[in-house]
Every structure is written in C-alpha cells, then in structure tokens.
Homo-oligomer: A and B are copies of this chain.
Amino acid sequence: MKLNIAILPGDGIGPEVTNQAVKALKAIASEFNHNFKFTTADVGAVAIDKHNDALPDETLQLCKKSDAILFGAIGDPKYDNDPSAKVRPEQGLLKLRKELGLYANIRPVKAYKTLLDKSPLKKHIIQGTDISIYRELTGGIYFGEKQTSEDGDYASDLCSYSREEIERIAHLAFVAAEHRNHKVTLVDKANVLETSRLWRRVVKEVAEQYPDVTLDFLFVDNAAMQMILNPKQFDVILTENMFGDIISDEASVIGGSIGLLASASVGDKYAMFEPIHGSYPQAADKGIANPIASILSAAMLLSHFELHNEAELIRLAVEKSLKLNITTPDINSVVNTVTTSNVGDFVEDFI
C-alpha cells in the first residue's frame, strides 16, 4: 500500500516520541513491502516561533494532501501563564481538528497485564479493563463563541451542539460497540445542561438503530467517580468534547502511565493519530519520554487502513518491550537507563 503520511511533531517531547513511531512505521513498510512517504511540518509553539502562526497554511495544506497525519504533542508553559497571549500553541491543534473535520477522538484504555502493578489503582480494580472512549472533538465549548468585556472583567464561552454533530459520532460509537461488548455509556450532565439533554435525546434515537447494543447514561461527576471505583463496567463511552477531555485523561491512570495511551481523531475525509499525553516540556530532550503512546498511535493509523497484521505486529512489539522491561522510567522501576530511542530501536528490531 502507498501512503502519504504527514508528520507533525509539535512541541516538547513531541519530536522525540514521534521519531520512534516513524521508525516503527518504516520497519513495517520494509517488512510488508509498503510504500510510506513521510513529510514533516511545523505546528504549535515551534510554529509560532518560526512563522508566528500555530498552524501555518503550509502545514494545513500538507495535511489535506496526505492520507493520514501523525501528530506529536502541543503546548508550551510560556503561553499558559500569559493569559493575554494572542497566539497560543493549542490554537494550532484546535484549528487542525476543525479544518480537517476530525469530529471523533477515539481513545482506547486498557490495563496491560505486565503493568498491573504500576497503576495507583489496586490490581483487582483494573484487571481486565478494556474501554473505548469516543470523544466529540470539533464542537462544544471548545469552539463556541468566546467573549471578554473591554475592561477584561467579564468573560464567556458558549457551549453548543447540533443534532448532526451528535448523530455522526454516536453512530461511530454504536458501530464500535457492536464489535465489542455491546454497551454504550453516554456521559453527560443532563440534570443541568441543555446541550446534555439534546445529547440524551439524539443518542437515544440513534440507539434504536442498534438493537443489540445497550445504552446507559451517567452524569459526568458520577462517571469521574465510577471510572476509578469500577472501570470494568465500561465498554464504549460516548461523550462531548470537554467531558471527554477530562474523563479520558483521568482514565489514563488505569494503564499505569499516560505515556501509553494512543488516540485516533477521525472525520469523514481525514484521520490523525496522536498520543493523548501533552508536550511535557520538563522532560523534553532528556531521553525519558515514553514513546509507546506515539508508537501505538502509529498502530492505530495502520488499522485505520485495514492493515491489521501490521498493526498487530507493532502491538506485539510493544507488549514484548513491556515484558522485557525495555521501557522508559515512568513505567520501569527495575532498569532506569532505557531511553526513548532505546524503546524505539527495540520495536524497530522486533518488527
């Protein structure tokens, strides 16, 4: 297969971890005789520094011409602590999601056998957890109208949703559930929010088309609790943008490290693959960043193009690295000399 893959390393640890994923993809290409072409472009704080734009048009055009995008990470504390900054790295990511119509962010959460002891949660709580979170990614309060009064003493953000925005991701979630454990949990705050009540109404209707999938509802506050008390109760979680952001980061503790969690952001035309972790600037260039989330994002990319054997091989390589303790310090309490690229090299060689 021929694939043009745009590489957007971004900020902080983004470049290091993305490099390892590219190594894995190159190994796959040579092993399975695929033709993968990689083109790199700037996004985020690095793009602001170079082009004064968090998403230069060149980068956007490259993404639109590519078959898939591999994204690193975004964010730089120098912007976070300047509330009046006019350009912010995150705008690059948000604009990318919006322009490419990547309305569904899919985040699998699994407890790896070899890592059960790494989690802050007790083993019997997480053992067997297997969740797929479907987070709406181009609507809600992230993209609603924002206002600040002239004197700066009042601000607002609008959260809005339309039926279509809910329907399209709901269908994806229900189809996924049909291939999994036949359960969708809608996380919302329908006892307070009008948008949540719209979600409930629309998702109930969509559910009727999937009679073999059970739909249940959970308020987001309760969901945040249930995720820790009993994560095994979940199969597919469906939720709006902001709640999905919070719940999926929270869920990362189940796996033992946020450095393990990959995600796919898909729309009707484009698809982007990215770790759910952030740019973690304190760790940049130290060789301690965990590349597994990025490598597993590459596996999700391959699955997206039905290259299931190839994806499986990457996953096997990752599991092997976990078993052999060829892992970065965040999940390795035995050997503390394994670097980001050591992990990448192992996965490459294994393939």
Hey, which bits of chain A sit against chain B, CB under 8 A? 75, 79-81, 83-84, 88, 90, 94, 120-122, 125, 141-142, 144, 146-148, 152-163, 189-195, 197-198, 200-201, 217, 220-222, 224-225, 227-230, 242-243, 245-250, 252-253, 258, 278
CB–CB A246/B220 < 8 A: yes
Task: Select A141's contact among B146, B193, B278, beta carbons within 8 Å.
Answer: B193
Residues of B near A81 (CB, < 8 A) are 200, 217
Task: Select A120's contact among B121, B148, B242, beta carbons within 8 Å.
Answer: B121
Shortest Cβ distance from A152 into chain B, in angstroms? 7
CB–CB A228/B200 < 8 A: no
Task: Select A159's contact among B157, B198, B243, beta carbons within 8 Å.
Answer: B157
Residues of B near A247 (CB, < 8 A) are 224
Shortest Cβ distance from A143 into chain B, in angstroms? 9
CB–CB B242/A189 < 8 A: yes
Shortest Cβ distance from A117 into chain B, in angstroms? 9
CB–CB A94/B253 < 8 A: no
Supply 8 further A-B pairs (C-beta < 8 A) apart from A122-B122, A148-B197, A155-B161.
Answer: A79-B191, A94-B192, A148-B198, A154-B160, A156-B160, A157-B194, A220-B245, A228-B228
Residues of B near A248 (CB, < 8 A) are 221
Contact of A249 with B229 at beta-carbon distance under 8 Å, contacts A159-B159, A192-B90, A242-B189 already known: no
CB–CB B228/A249 < 8 A: no
Residues of B near A88 (CB, < 8 A) are 191
CB–CB B80/A146 < 8 A: no
Residues of B near A195 (CB, < 8 A) are 155-157
CB–CB A157/B80 < 8 A: no
Shortest Cβ distance from A15 into chain B, in angstroms? 20
Residues of B near A250 (CB, < 8 A) are 221, 224-225, 227-228, 250
CA distance A148 to B202 in the complex (A): 13
CA distance A246 to B192 in the complex (A): 13
Contact of A225 with B122 at beta-carbon distance under 8 Å, contacts A159-B141, A194-B147 already known: no
Residues of B near A120 (CB, < 8 A) are 121-122, 125, 228-230
Closest 6 A/B residue pairs (Cβ):
A156-B160, A221-B249, A224-B250, A155-B198, A153-B163, A146-B194
CA distance A153 to B156 in the complex (A): 23
Residues of B near A121 (CB, < 8 A) are 120-122, 228
CB–CB A198/B152 < 8 A: yes
Task: Select A83's contact among B158, B161, B200, B253, beta carbons within 8 Å.
Answer: B200
Task: Select A225's contact among B162, B201, B258, beta carbons within 8 Å.
Answer: B258
